[in-house]
């Protein structure tokens, strides 16, 4: 069963891995990705604020999961994306995919995070002691997402 959630609270990857593979005796591969808050180059990040478009986010993530299932032979998908204020090294996002064989699990997991980064309505704002600025979209992410 798919699990797609937007939430403020932290998540436990081990718990989520156990949940997605429970009683799934037909699968042979589980691939996971965790995105975390990276400090700024000058090590001054005090917090990262994550905003989203509440009415659209869930629908956008579900659509990405559905697209992944159409492209690859995967069983279940978990996507957990946090919002609110986060600190350095905090976990932001978890993506897990399962399949019979590893190729589809690897490729679908990569697709989901690549597509989420350019299509799901979240925005990050970095804060230091002296200033705040919105993170700019990365052109490399757009190029990567366009390859699918």
Interface residue list for another protein (CB under 8 A)? 35, 50-53, 55-56, 59-60, 81, 92-93, 113, 116-125, 134-138, 142
Residue among 104 and 126 whose Cβ is closer to another protein: 126
Residue among 44 and 138 whose Cβ is closer to another protein: 138
Q: According to DSSP H, which parts of the chain are helical?
A: 13-21, 54-71, 102-119, 139-146
Q: According to DSSP H, which parts of 42-126 are helical?
A: 54-71, 102-119
CB 25 within 8 A of CB 62: no
Residue among 105 and 112 whose Cβ is closer to another protein: 112
Rounded to a whole number of angstroms, the minimum distance from the CB of residue 101 to another protein is 26
Rounded to a whole number of angstroms, the minimum distance from the CB of residue 90 to another protein is 14
Residue among 32 and 119 whose Cβ is closer to another protein: 119
Rounded to a whole number of angstroms, the minimum distance from the CB of residue 24 to another protein is 26
Residue among 21 and 58 whose Cβ is closer to another protein: 58
How is residue 7 written in tokens?
């939430």
Rounded to a whole number of angstroms, the minimum distance from the CB of residue 28 to another protein is 27
Chain mean position to CA 63 = 14
Give the Cα separation of 37 and 39 in Å (integer).
7
- Assign 48 to helix, strand or coil: strand
Backbone angles phi, psi at 77, to 5 degrees: -130, 135
Rounded to a whole number of angstroms, the minimum distance from the CB of residue 23 to another protein is 30
């Amino acid at each position: 069963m798919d699990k797609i959630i937007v939430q403020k609270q932290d998540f436990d990857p081990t718990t989520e891995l156990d949940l997605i593979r429970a009683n799934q005796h037909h699968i042979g591969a589980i691939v996971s990705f965790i995105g975390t808050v990276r400090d700024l180059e000058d090590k001054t990040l005090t917090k990262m604020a994550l905003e989203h478009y509440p009415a659209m986010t869930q629908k956008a993530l579900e659509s990405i999961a559905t697209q992944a299932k159409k492209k690859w032979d995967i069983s279940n998908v978990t996507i957990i994306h946090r919002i609110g204020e986060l600190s350095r090294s905090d976990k932001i996002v978890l993506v897990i995919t399962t399949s019979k064989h590893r190729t589809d699990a690897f490729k679908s997991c990569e697709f989901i995070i690549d597509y989420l980064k350019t299509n799901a309505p979240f925005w990050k704002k970095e804060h230091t002691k002296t200033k705040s600025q919105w993170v700019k979209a990365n052109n490399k992410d757009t190029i990567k997402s366009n390859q699918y």
